[in-house]
């Protein structure tokens, strides 16, 4: 019985976000050096990025489980 652990949809999504260009939805600024701030709680993960130019907060929510 071959059990090859597939990556969960959550892991794939997380990778997708980590590779996504951080572009501010407000002013269009591309934050090349930026990172998502990740907080996980109660079956969901919040990704947050604050634009260094205009302080707009871009939030994505991942739900899993």
Distance CA 63, CA 42 (A): 9
CA angle (22, 23, 25) in 5-degree steps: 130
Among 5-13, 15-23, 29-37, 42-50, which window interacts with Zn ion (CB under 5 A)?
A: 29-37
Short-list 11, 8, 27, CA closest to 19:
11
Q: Is 30 in the site for Zn ion (CB under 5 A)?
A: no
Q: Is 16 in the site for Zn ion (CB under 5 A)?
A: no
Q: Is 53 in the site for Zn ion (CB under 5 A)?
A: yes
Among 11-19, 23-31, 39-47, 57-65, which window interacts with Zn ion (CB under 5 A)?
A: 23-31
């Amino acid at each position: 019985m071959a059990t090859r652990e597939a990556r969960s949809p959550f892991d794939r999504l997380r990778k997708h976000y980590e590779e996504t260009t951080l572009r501010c939805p407000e002013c269009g600024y591309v934050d090349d050096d930026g990172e998502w701030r990740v907080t996980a709680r109660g079956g969901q993960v919040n990704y947050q990025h604050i634009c260094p130019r205009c302080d707009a907060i871009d939030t994505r929510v991942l739900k899993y489980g």
